[in-house]
Amino acid sequence: MTKEEVIAYAVERFSAQPEYLWARYPDAFVLRHTGNRKWFAVSMVVKRAALGLPGQGEVWVLDVKCGPLLLGGFRDTPGVIPAYHMNKTHWLGVLLDGTAGEDTVKTLLEISYDLTAERSETMTDTLHTVAVNGVTLHYAVAGQGRPVILVHGNGESHAMFHREMAQLAAAGYRVYAPDSRGHGANDPLGEYHYADMAEDMYQFIRALGLEKPCFYGFSDGGIVGLLLALRHPEALSALAVSGANLTPEGVQPDFLAEIRAENDRCPNPLVTLMLTEPHIAPDALERITVPTLVTAGEHDLIREQETRRIAAHIPGARLVIVPGHDHGSYIDGSDIMGRLLLDFLAALPLDK
């Protein structure tokens, strides 16, 4: 996509007009939410040499916000580079010279818009709240029927599941999508632990009176799901996890090195969480007895051997490696994960 095409798409999709804020850089612009006025994209022309790119001249760059783990999933996508003049742990850059595909640019704009949205701008007009485990969690609800819980990854929010919520609700499920502690509409915290998040979800289930819900977790949400199933085996009727890891070493080493260097320069407690946890013994997974689906992308930032290890140690687990996809590309803004969940849930016995 070109700069002009990005502007046209932003106007049509988000009602966001470009704003030119800097006299020194008259062509640079930002795209804002019409409600909370937060930026969800910044674009400027940059010398190729300043970006470490080959060739002479300049190129337009679009900076968009992206959660740390989704960011890692996009790092090898053509036309995607580290953010320019933005926090590289939460933002990335996209070249507007035709290198990045149109679908990539639009998907990243959607992700950035969701991550910077106020509650009223997300897929649900109203979020509910519940007090659990010493924190207040905001959550969205859709549909009627058997309960399903969807939990997002590091640095994200429930808004990433707008496709899955619509698919599941239309198929006759009651879908609950909480923002994890310190994420989304919740108050940020100075320290995070996966054990706390798992306990949050257990108390969430109890507080809402959910009868053995099915639990789906993406990335950090998948880690939370594994811990929940281990610590409270009676709480769930089924478990699905995507892009989860048992230890930090289960993540691709180059991505770990990138976020460790950035965290040393600019500490972030959510990144510290990824660098120091979890620590789940593979043999412990043998205690999980509910039907389980384990997925990852073919080009995931979680090592494939880690994904296969998880599936191999959970009795009867079904493993799906999604061809051609990375950590989150088959989940955020895609119908693929919703279809996988529907197929998985449809095969469950009704008394589970």
Give the pLDDT of residue 120: 42
What is the C-alpha to C-alpha distance for residues 210 and 146, in angstroms, rounded to an integer?
9
- Output the pLDDT for position 57: 93
pLDDT beneath 70: ranges in the chain: 68-73, 118-125, 350-352
Residue 132 phi, psi dihedral angles, 5° rounding: -145, 135
Do 3-117 and 126-346 show the same overall fold? no
> For residue 188, with 0-12 CB atoms within 10 Å meaning exposed, 13-18 middle and 19 or more buried, which class applies?
exposed
At residue 125, the pLDDT reads 45
Domain boundaries, the chain: 3-117, 126-346
Q: What is the DSSP letter of 184?
A: T
Q: What angle do CA 142, 143, 144 make, to 5 degrees?
A: 135
Residue-wise pLDDT for 50-94, tens only, equals 898 998 999 999 999 987 666 666 777 899 998 887 777 778 999
What are the C-alpha distances in Å from 348 to residues 186, 234, 279, 320? 33, 16, 30, 17
Predicted local distance difference test score (pLDDT) of residue 72 = 65
Helix axes 220-231, 194-207, angle to 10 degrees: 70
Helix axes 253-265, 269-276, angle to 10 degrees: 140
| CA-wise closest residue to 63 among 33, 95, 35, 32 | 95
Whole-structure pTM value: 0.76
Helix axes 162-170, 336-346, angle to 10 degrees: 40
Check if CATH label 3.40.50.300 holds for domain 126-346.
no
Inter-residue contact 168 to 240 (CB < 8 Å): no
Q: Are strands 80-82 and 91-95 parallel, antiparallel or unpaired?
A: antiparallel
On the CB side of 239, CA atoms within 13 Å amount to 31
In angstroms, the CA 284 to CA 322 distance is 26
Which pLDDT belongs to residue 119? 46
- Could you count the other beta carbons within 10 Å of the beta carbon of residue 309? 17
User: What is the model's pLDDT at position 168?
Assistant: 94
DSSP reduced 3-state for 147: strand
CB 128 within 8 A of CB 138: yes
Torsion of CA 209, 214, 218, 219, to 10 degrees: 80
Question: What is the C-alpha to C-alpha distance for residues 74 and 66, in angstroms, rounded to an integer?
Answer: 9
Domain 3-117: CATH class, spelled out: alpha beta
Computed from CA positions of residues 36, 16, 157, 77, in that sequence, does the dihedral angle turn out positive or negative?
Answer: negative
